[in-house]
């Protein structure tokens, strides 16, 4: 059964795209059938893939599929993709605001929404508001899990400290964090960072 994991936030710059790529690449390397959907009309992820294939001198693309969409039609397209049964996981990198109709519809098609946040006061405020905006979707989609993914956390930070800081968000927290590493901010769509695999495994474990 296909599972849909959507990265959603009230604003850009929180790490949605970076984590969507890292998650998709890690799941692909774990032998899962993955589709990555990007709704940013600049189609940044598709461009990254093309550049990587060019550098590797590959004429064919043997990696997971990446498609472009828009927030106002992503939910409808995902409905059809789920029915096809071609994928274990569909990862969505959304671009829209949480108040957009398309984002609300995307929540109804998702099994998990991941909200990435650092521990800065500004990011925590954005995450809090994002959770608040999306909470009504849980009443319409009983299978939906809205989870916080701690992101850009200093590697020496204790996880208990992370949990304490995020407790105010009143939402399920992924039981690990993405450390602040250069390799995570320059993700590859063809080669997974081995250290991100543990993050991917924990996300899938909590997805159930």
The whole-chain average pLDDT of the chain stands at 94
- Extract the tokens encoding 41: 């009309």
- What pLDDT score does 183 carry? 65
- What pLDDT score does 42 carry? 84
Alpha-carbon gap, residue 105 to 95, rounded angstroms = 14
**Beta strands at 3-7 and 112-117: parallel, antiparallel or unpaired:** parallel
CA atoms within 13 A on the CB side of 94: 31
- Extract the tokens encoding 123: 């990011």
Q: pLDDT tens across 76-110, in order?
A: 999 999 999 999 999 999 987 898 999 999 999 99
What residues does 34 pair with on adjacent strands? 89
To the nearest whole percent, how much of the chain has pLDDT over 90?
88
- What pLDDT score does 188 carry? 94
Q: Taking the domain 3-207, which CATH number applies?
A: 3.40.50.300
- What pLDDT score does 41 carry? 81
Domain boundaries, the chain: 3-207
Q: pLDDT tens across 9-41, in order?
A: 998 889 999 999 999 999 999 999 999 999 988
Alpha-carbon gap, residue 86 to 55, rounded angstroms = 29
pTM of the model: 0.95
Helical spans, DSSP H, in the chain:
16-29, 44-55, 71-84, 101-109, 121-134, 136-140, 159-166, 182-185, 197-207
Q: Does 184 score more than 70 pLDDT?
A: no
Sign of CA dihedral 151, 154, 160, 161: negative
To the nearest whole percent, how much of the chain has pLDDT over 70?
99
Q: Does 148 score more than 90 pLDDT?
A: yes
What residues does 66 pair with on adjacent strands? 36
């Amino acid at each position: 059964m296909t599972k849909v994991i959507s990265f959603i936030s009230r604003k850009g710059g929180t790490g949605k795209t970076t984590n969507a790529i890292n998650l998709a690449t890690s799941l692909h390397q774990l032998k899962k059938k993955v589709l990555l959907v990007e709704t940013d009309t600049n189609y940044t992820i598709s461009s990254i893939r093309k550049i990587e294939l060019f550098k590797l001198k590959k004429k064919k693309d043997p990696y997971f599929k990446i498609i472009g969409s828009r927030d106002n039609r992503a939910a409808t397209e995902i409905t059809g993709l789920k029915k096809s049964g071609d994928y274990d996981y569909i990862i969505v990198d959304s671009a829209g605001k949480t108040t957009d109709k398309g984002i609300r519809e995307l929540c109804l098609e998702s099994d998990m929404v991941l909200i990435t946040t650092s521990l800065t006061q500004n990011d925590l405020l954005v995450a809090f508001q994002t959770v608040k905006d999306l909470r009504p979707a849980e009443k319409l989609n009983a299978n939906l899990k809205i989870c916080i993914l701690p992101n850009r956390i200093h590697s020496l930070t204790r996880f208990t400290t992370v949990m304490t800081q995020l407790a105010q968000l009143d939402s399920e927290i992924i039981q690990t964090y993405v450390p602040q590493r250069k390799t995570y901010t320059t993700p590859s769509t063809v080669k997974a960072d081995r250290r991100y695999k543990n993050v991917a495994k924990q996300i899938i474990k909590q997805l159930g």
